[in-house]
Structure 1
Amino acid sequence: MIGKFLGFLLLLECLFLLPPALISAMDGEGRALRAIFTTMAISAVVGGALSLGCRNAQRSFYAREGFLIVALGWIVLSMVGALPFWLSQEIPHYVDAVFEVISGFTTTGASILTNVEAMSRGLLFWRSFTHWLGGMGILVFLLAVVPTGKGGYSVHLLRAESPGPSVGKLVPKIRQTAAILYLIYVALTVLCVAFLLAGGMSLFDSLCTAFGTAGTGGFGVKNDSMASYSPYLQSVCTVFMALFGVNFSIYFLVLLGKFKQVLHSEELGVYLAILLGSMAVITVNILPLYSGSIGAAFHDAAFTVSSIMTTTGFATADFNLWPQLSRSILVVLMVVGACAGSTGGGIKCARLVLLYKSLVARIRQTLRPRSVNLVRAEGHTVPDEVLQGVSTYMSAYSAIAVVSFLILSLDNFSLETNLTAVLACLNNIGPGLDMVGPTSNYSLFSDLSKIVLMLNMLLGRLEIFPILIMLSPRTWRKAN
């Protein structure tokens, strides 16, 4: 069954490479086109062989297999997706090519490229397109478009790939849930493209920018990210980055007309409060740098906060030059992240709400040992297994961050560089501070550090457990 799904994913990747191949053909980019066609052939042959060879696989499986399919699927897609960059020699080192594509699929936006504008347009499109594919999830796309029968395994794939402390169905059937999520995703993306086109941005730039905005990834087509675009275009991205950081179930409730539930969403309230509060504080803090121009200060503060909290990574200003308070707030926002069920990364506001409520319940339990203190969120009692999952996640998150930070320290860069590089990759943001700031890149790190950061990106996007389960020897032992 694992082989069958990996085959399906490789065949899908072959289809996903058609748009960049078409662009390269139109632009006469011979080397890039040959590299893309070669990758498509490899994807088609290997994917077809796996699909046919494993066509008699069992129709049902459990959580272990679901987590393995997701973890292995993302790794295989990234290793194959890096081939066009490597074969065309636009990224000569294969480790760098894999780093770039994993950063794309995981919607991190960390790059090793020093001159983005020198790339061929076909591969530049593929680089941005990986953001859009990874934003909602490639397995979610597979569930939405491929008939999965009655095997009962779809929920395991959705839970393994979807971000958040718990995953629920919008409608009774998983396939319909996946289709609804993608329809909302596509609709918002098209709307974003329309607003960008209205501001005079070219179709190519609009598509690539919308892919980065929708997937909250941050790969741009300009060396200065979004700085050279007009204030209108930057404002469009500010708004849409914030919109894609919202739990997509909120949009489904809006479509159903259940506005009361939307207004009473605790996570949405916390998300907006942190977002708007951070914008206000940073605006005041950076005001002297803008000669007292509140409009200009708020514009850059709003864009940067929206970009960092939703873990997009676009930039209009070098926030490395901002005061320490503003930079510290941005680091905190890197960790906090967006809402569960969005395309954003980070710990997620839902987990922060549950951690706070668990702490309050624990204090009350300590003061009154015989009292019953249930944790409630969004009007429902939170099961103990969800609370335990949040605590386990936070423990694993902290341990991974510390170990990764220590390994990166072997490169002898500054503490600020190493720490924010780990946080930026683990939380799928992209730019950090100091030597990995918004005007820099990750090419300075050694191959060992790049591999660690790639693992961080995958751990962050897949919410840690699928990768840890894949790496556990117990997972591969045959069940009795």
Structure 2
Amino acid sequence: MQRKSQFNVGLICRVLGVLILLNGIFMFTCLPFAFYFGDGDWKALVQSGVITVIAGGFGMLYAQKMGYEQVFKKKDGYIIVSLGWALMAFFGSLPYIFSEIQASFADAYFETISGYSTTGASILTDIEGVGKGILFWRSLTQWIGGMGIIVLAVAVLPFLGIGGMQLFVAEAPGISPDKLQPRIKETAKRLWWVYAGLTGVETILLMTGGMSFYDALNHALTTMATGGFSTYNDSAASMSPYIQYILIFFMVLAGTNFTLNYFFFKRMFKAIWKNEEYKYYLGIISLATIGISSVVIYTTDLGIEKAFRDALFQVVSIITTTGYVSADYTAWAPFATMIVFVLMFCGGMAGSTAGGVKIVRHIILFKNSFLELKRQLHPTAIIPVRFNDKAVKGGITFNVLAFIMAYFLVFGIGILVMSALGLDLLTAIGAVATSLGNIGPGVGTVGPVDNFAHLPDMAKWVLSFLMLLGRLELFTVMIIFTPYFWSRF
């Protein structure tokens, strides 16, 4: 008697096929820009799109042929999310390989996973020389990855007769965004409407500041994704103050829990201000900006407004893990640079497109640590951690502690690996911190005025894995490498 598989293989192939198919369709949306600007990169996009669509269609047909139950197991969700992002990056790298860039597979995959994970680290040395169709695809990968291609699929899969709750849980383990509607499909749809709507509004506002439609759209896509890919070689450094302030405003929105953004549209302002994480989020931005701008004003001759704007821009860019650059923060006084580096381990709000540890985890960690001191005096007392005036379940607290421990363990191991591959210590620290936190620029030779092109291929593969690990918040990927995951019990 044949033993039943612990995985719903047919369903996994079906969903992966849909994701890859959608990826190919998105490639074709870049063609209008390729034709309009006449850069000749339309051939690479067509070739890549056709291959990707055929691959996705084959996966769906294979699943149909072998048959499957329309029921997700939790393990299926973890496989689909982890493998889905890896495959999306694989097929998404084809335009870089087939175009005039002729990137190696390591470089192409690095650039693509940097896009989907909304990291913003790049190997391109002359961004303005890249074809406009390919450059738009580069920005689009971040926009897709920002809210999560998996969440998009959750909104589409019900039409195929497949539920998506397991996918939503797998992509955001531990602490998940609040549900806006009882059904996960409705939640995904509303999140995407808010996401797309804000992208459209930002595009219009950037155009009023003098940007072309093409540049405005690209920057709106990568701002709302907290990705940071720019169409300019110097990122945001040469932009006007008006445009920089627009980017700052929308970076703050992108780093905010999208449930709160939805509440804003519904005029539920009290619900927004009651959110404890939101208060800490704005508080950290304010304090860091005051600290850095004070140092920059004192140590440079930039002037008060310019120093404040550069400080605010970089604080918001780093804490939201967007990664745009308006100034070389490594050239500031050491105290200011250190604040920026610390912000790399902060992250935005849970339920946002930002990466990093997330502020809510820091809040719970510090509250639990403080209460542990109180428990030493009252060992028999039951003193729960409270967040938003509610007691946090013990399981969530343990999850937060385990996540932060795992995060810094991976950070330490990553530094050792990068050092073994020949990187100097400062560059190794910067590369690992920015990749794991999905930030973009780091310190050392991967700082805000440099990129990752000079790193050895093996280092790029390791950093690509760290980007994926950070984007899926560690556990989703790490659990696949445990013997418990593959056990039948």
> What is the TM-score of this pair, normalised by structure 2?
0.94
TM-aligned CA deviation for residue 299 of structure 1: 0.9
How many angstroms apart in 1 are the aligned matches of 2:349 and 2:481?
Answer: 28
Tell me the amino acid that sits aligned with residue 47 of structure 2.
T
Structure 1 equivalent of residue 341 of structure 2? 331
> Are residues 292 and 4 of structure 1, via their aligned partners in 2, closer, same or farther at CA, if it must alter by over 3 Å?
closer
Structure 1 equivalent of residue 53 of structure 2? 44
Find the partner of 2:447 among 437, 446, 452: 437
Uncovered stretches (5+) of structure 2, i.e. residues with no partner: 1-10
Structure 1 equivalent of residue 4 of structure 2? none
How many angstroms apart in 2 are the aligned matches of 1:411 and 1:288?
Answer: 39
2:134 pairs with 1:123: yes
> Are residues 428 and 164 of structure 1, via their aligned partners in 2, closer, same or farther at CA, if it must alter by over 3 Å?
farther
How many residues are matched? Answer: 477
Structure 1 equivalent of residue 288 of structure 2? 278
Matches within 5 A, 1:315-464: 315-464=325-474
How many angstroms apart in 2 are the aligned matches of 1:54 and 1:257?
Answer: 45
How many angstroms apart in 1 are the aligned matches of 2:116 and 2:21?
Answer: 16
Tell me the amino acid that sits aligned with residue 283 of structure 1.
S
Decide whether the 8 Å contact of 1:405 with 1:418 is kept in 2.
yes
TM-aligned CA deviation for residue 139 of structure 1: 0.8
Tell me the amino acid that sits aligned with residue 66 of structure 1.
G
> Are residues 473 and 118 of structure 1, via their aligned partners in 2, closer, same or farther at CA, if it must alter by over 3 Å?
farther
Tell me the amino acid that sits aligned with residue 312 of structure 1.
T
Decide whether the 8 Å contact of 2:322 with 2:440 is kept in 1.
yes
Structure 1 equivalent of residue 7 of structure 2? none
Find the partner of 2:211 among 180, 201, 204: 201
How many angstroms apart in 2 are the aligned matches of 1:244 and 1:163?
Answer: 20
TM-aligned CA deviation for residue 164 of structure 1: 6.7
TM-aligned CA deviation for residue 163 of structure 1: 7.4
How many angstroms apart in 1 are the aligned matches of 2:118 and 2:15?
Answer: 22
Decide whether the 8 Å contact of 2:361 with 2:400 is kept in 1.
yes
Structure 1 equivalent of residue 71 of structure 2? 60
Structure 1 equivalent of residue 25 of structure 2? 15
Decide whether the 8 Å contact of 2:173 with 2:476 is kept in 1.
no
TM-aligned CA deviation for residue 414 of structure 1: 2.7
Report the 3-state secondary structure (helix = DSSP H, G, I; strand = E; otherwise coil) of the residue aligned with 1:336. coil
Tell me the amino acid that sits aligned with residue 381 of structure 1.
A
Give per-residue Cα distances to partners, 1:397-439, cap 9 Å, x unaligned. Answer: 1111111110100243332211011000000001011211111
Decide whether the 8 Å contact of 1:166 with 1:386 is kept in 2.
no
Tell me the amino acid that sits aligned with residue 49 of structure 2.
M
Structure 1 equivalent of residue 263 of structure 2? 253
Structure 1 equivalent of residue 145 of structure 2? 134
> Are residues 163 and 370 of structure 1, via their aligned partners in 2, closer, same or farther at CA, if it must alter by over 3 Å?
closer
Decide whether the 8 Å contact of 1:247 with 1:340 is kept in 2.
yes
TM-aligned CA deviation for residue 175 of structure 1: 0.3
2:215 pairs with 1:221: no
Give per-residue Cα distances to partners, 1:439-469, cap 9 Å, x unaligned. Answer: 1001121111111100110011110112112
Report the 3-state secondary structure (helix = DSSP H, G, I; strand = E; otherwise coil) of the residue aligned with 1:313. coil
Find the partner of 2:307 among 294, 297, 305: 297
Structure 2 equivalent of residue 33 of structure 1? 42
Report the 3-state secondary structure (helix = DSSP H, G, I; strand = E; otherwise coil) of the residue aligned with 1:442. coil
2:165 pairs with 1:171: no
Give per-residue Cα distances to partners, 1:341-379, cap 9 Å, x unaligned. Answer: 011111111101111121123222221111111122112
Report the 3-state secondary structure (helix = DSSP H, G, I; strand = E; otherwise coil) of the residue aligned with 1:54. helix
348-357 or 290-299: bigger deviation: 290-299
Decide whether the 8 Å contact of 2:178 with 2:259 is kept in 1.
no
Tell me the amino acid that sits aligned with residue 38 of structure 1.
Q
How many angstroms apart in 2 are the aligned matches of 1:164 and 1:108?
Answer: 22
Decide whether the 8 Å contact of 1:159 with 1:167 is kept in 2.
no
TM-aligned CA deviation for residue 289 of structure 1: 4.5
Find the partner of 2:194 among 180, 184, 205: 184
TM-aligned CA deviation for residue 162 of structure 1: 3.5
Decide whether the 8 Å contact of 1:164 with 1:348 is kept in 2.
no
Structure 2 equivalent of residue 101 of structure 1? 112
Find the partner of 1:73 among 70, 84, 87: 84
Tell me the amino acid that sits aligned with residue 65 of structure 1.
D
Give per-residue Cα distances to partners, 1:207-239, cap 9 Å, x unaligned. Answer: 111111110001111110111221111111011
TM-aligned CA deviation for residue 154 of structure 1: 1.7
101-110 or 349-358: bigger deviation: 349-358
Decide whether the 8 Å contact of 2:118 with 2:226 is kept in 1.
yes
> What is the TM-score of this pair, normalised by structure 1?
0.96
Structure 2 equivalent of residue 24 of structure 1? 34
How many angstroms apart in 1 are the aligned matches of 2:404 and 2:414?
Answer: 15
Decide whether the 8 Å contact of 2:293 with 2:311 is kept in 1.
yes
Tell me the amino acid that sits aligned with residue 86 of structure 1.
I
Decide whether the 8 Å contact of 2:436 with 2:467 is kept in 1.
yes
Report the 3-state secondary structure (helix = DSSP H, G, I; strand = E; otherwise coil) of the residue aligned with 1:242. helix
Uncovered stretches (5+) of structure 1, i.e. residues with no partner: none
TM-aligned CA deviation for residue 253 of structure 1: 2.4
How many angstroms apart in 1 are the aligned matches of 2:392 and 2:404?
Answer: 17
Aligned residues: CA RMSD: 1.6
TM-aligned CA deviation for residue 185 of structure 1: 0.6
TM-aligned CA deviation for residue 81 of structure 1: 0.3
How many angstroms apart in 1 are the aligned matches of 2:33 and 2:264?
Answer: 37
108-117 or 257-266: bigger deviation: 257-266
How many angstroms apart in 1 are the aligned matches of 2:209 and 2:396?
Answer: 44
TM-aligned CA deviation for residue 339 of structure 1: 0.5
